[in-house]
């Protein structure tokens, strides 16, 4: 069960690096706001020059806000991500339809 920092500084960048073409096909920028102990804010760009940077991009297509516990659950079980979106555990602003593409990135 990775913490958010490990996910955004190691795991997700590794997944993007292994298949940058797949990441670029998503064609969106996401901001993740992970609240609580172990949380933080990261921008995941899945466009040209795909990658992850700390902080919040002003031009994000989709912003997801969740607790650190919710992040751990989603990163451990990406297939359950949609349940968390629809149940309100994860707050989504911007283009919520992009959130359905996230299991390909986080899992």
Q: Report pTM.
A: 0.91
pLDDT at 59: 93
Tell me the β-bridge partners of 24: none
Q: Is 24:6 a contact under the CB 8 Å cutoff?
A: no
- What is the maximal distance between C-alpha atoms in the chain? 34
Choosing among 3.30.1450.10, 3.30.1050.10, 3.40.50.720, 3.40.50.20, the CATH entry for 4-106 is 3.30.1050.10
23 burial (CB, 10 Å; 0-12 / 13-18 / 19+) is buried
Output the CA torsion sign for 31, 32, 35, 40.
negative
For the chain, 107 residues long, the average pLDDT of each consecutive 10-residue run is: 88 91 89 96 92 96 95 85 83 91 74
Q: Is 98:62 a contact under the CB 8 Å cutoff?
A: yes
Q: Domain extents for the chain?
A: 4-106
């Amino acid at each position: 069960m990775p913490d958010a920092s490990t996910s955004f500084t190691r795991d997700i960048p590794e997944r993007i690096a292994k298949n940058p073409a797949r990441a670029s096909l998503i064609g969106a920028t996401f901001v993740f706001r992970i609240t609580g102990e172990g949380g933080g804010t990261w921008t995941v760009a899945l466009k040209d020059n795909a990658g992850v940077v700390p902080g919040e991009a002003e031009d994000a297509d989709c912003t997801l806000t969740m607790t650190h516990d919710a992040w751990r659950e989603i990163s451990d079980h990406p297939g359950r991500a949609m349940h968390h979106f629809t149940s309100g555990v994860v707050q989504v602003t911007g283009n919520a339809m992009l959130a359905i593409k996230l299991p390909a990135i986080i899992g």
